[in-house]
Amino acid sequence: MKTVLILGAGTAGTAMAHKLRRRLPKDWDVAVVDPSTTHLYQPGLLFLPFGDETESRILRERSATLGKGITWHRTEVRSIDTERQTVDVSDGEPLHYDFLIIATGTEIRPDMIDGMLGSGWRESVFDFYSLDGAKALQAALAEFEGGRLVVNVVEMPIKCPVAPLEFAFLTDAYLTKRGIRHKTELVYATPLDAAFTKPLASKMLGYLLEEKGILVEAEFMTGEVDAEARVIRSYDEREVPYDLLVTVPPHTGASFLEDGPLGDELGFVPTDQRTLAVKGQDRVFCMGDATDLPSSKAGSVAHFQADLLVENMERVIAGQAPEPTFDGHSNCFVETGFGKAMLIDFNYDTEPLPGQFPFPGIGPLPLLKEARRNHWAKLAFRWVYWNALLPARPLPFPPTMSLAGKQLSAAAELGGE
């Protein structure tokens, strides 16, 4: 029996396991290693704090998402030995592999910022990138009666890079509905030089911040949370006061990667941008949020990678070289509040452009533009995730980005990318 071992059963690992199980012959074992017994639909965490999503709808038993034919080692990875082709785990004998896929995602690390886990943690300081954090934030928002609400991205890279901005938009709508928007100063503090960092997005979407009265504190790198004084302090000693802080803490790769030879300074795995092979390795691949790629850390990216990596796995198993097929394709809905959303579609080389998706000239989803249809599509996506994306059933989106249906002239006018 030969083995493809997948570390991590999140979006990337689970979709990949199902794809491989369908494509590989019976004498290949497809195995995953993951200590957690539940699978979380992470996009739901954006809606949960506002009471628009429930825990039961976004959480499923891991056994149900993996199903038959996939071996599940319910244990934690300690280290990888690429010489012996084994993975050391906390519970049981080392696991042997013929090919290894690292899909351990990213962890949020409030512990890396001075004071973040201090007396204010989940009292006045909240995150929404974890289920517990999102639930605690829901309770805090329900009790919020106005003041300064600060949404702060500590540093890049983060999962779902537009989620913090979406959170600010949804907060504006939520507070408006509760009749306390006029009593609230809503601030978006980012380490980047603006809320929208690409020329076209900034030109087309800048109105959103103005319209919603969101104040932007740019180039703000949080060094410290001072829960007593209720301020976040940057490295250049600027202070942003808050009554309620919604933070997106730093992200790192899994701790065994951060400490081991395969991870970079932040524990992300140096990976070939096109083949997804781990650099310097011929039997180890990496996908999803665990890579150091310049593509977004997002579920859509994991899905497109799975489509292409399964073909590369077939190639390497047959003794051929992997092909450079991945183009950094990403596709995300961006909630803008009041029942509307945008859709963006881009890759390594092409910034998000206006147009229609997925069918040129028809849509039905407009790109880089607010529409109710996009919002409904985002909500419907939860069903697609559980029933098609995770079990790797066919979806009508090509894994590489298409320029068809996109207005290239929009970027050209700006001298954009």
Provide the binding-site residues for another protein, judged by CB under 8 A.
155-157, 161-162, 165, 191-193, 196-199, 201, 205, 219, 221, 223, 235-236, 250, 264-266, 270, 273, 279, 292-294, 296, 330, 332, 334, 344, 346, 348, 352, 415
Q: What does the DSSP 8-state code read for residue 116? A: T
Q: Which position has the token pair 């700006």?
A: 414
CB of 243 to another protein, least distance (A): 26
Both structure tokens of 74: 């319910």
CB of 258 to another protein, least distance (A): 10
C-alpha to C-alpha distance for 262 and 233, rounded to whole angstroms: 33
CB of 280 to another protein, least distance (A): 11
Cβ distance to another protein smaller for residue 97 or 346: 346
8 Å CB contact between 92 and 73: yes
8 Å CB contact between 17 and 27: no
Cβ distance to another protein smaller for residue 29 or 166: 166
CB of 294 to another protein, least distance (A): 4
CB of 202 to another protein, least distance (A): 8
8 Å CB contact between 37 and 100: no
CB of 31 to another protein, least distance (A): 29
Q: Report CA-CA distances (Å) from 294 to 217, 288, 290, 321.
A: 24, 12, 12, 23
Cβ distance to another protein smaller for residue 279 or 393: 279
C-alpha to C-alpha distance for 100 and 16, rounded to whole angstroms: 12
Cβ distance to another protein smaller for residue 73 or 251: 251
C-alpha to C-alpha distance for 255 and 243, rounded to whole angstroms: 32
CB of 173 to another protein, least distance (A): 19
The amino acid at 31? A
Cβ distance to another protein smaller for residue 99 or 346: 346
CB of 318 to another protein, least distance (A): 29
Q: Which position has the token pair 């906390």?
A: 90
DSSP string for 213-282: TEEEE-S--EEEEETTTTEEEETT--EEE-SEEEEE--EEE-HHHHHSTTS-TTSPBPB-TTT-BBTT-S
Cβ distance to another protein smaller for residue 153 or 389: 153
CB of 196 to another protein, least distance (A): 5
Cβ distance to another protein smaller for residue 55 or 219: 219
Q: List the alpha helices (DSSP H) in 100-254.
A: 131-143, 163-177, 199-212
Q: Report CA-CA distances (Å) from 190 to 193, 223, 242, 244, 247.
A: 7, 12, 15, 16, 10
Cβ distance to another protein smaller for residue 192 or 317: 192
The amino acid at 347? N
Question: What is the three-state SS of 303-316?
Answer: HHHHHHHHHHHHHH
Q: Report CA-CA distances (Å) from 231 to 111, 122, 253, 383.
A: 17, 15, 28, 40
C-alpha to C-alpha distance for 386 and 339, rounded to whole angstroms: 23
Cβ distance to another protein smaller for residue 107 or 292: 292
Cβ distance to another protein smaller for residue 144 or 346: 346
CB of 52 to another protein, least distance (A): 22
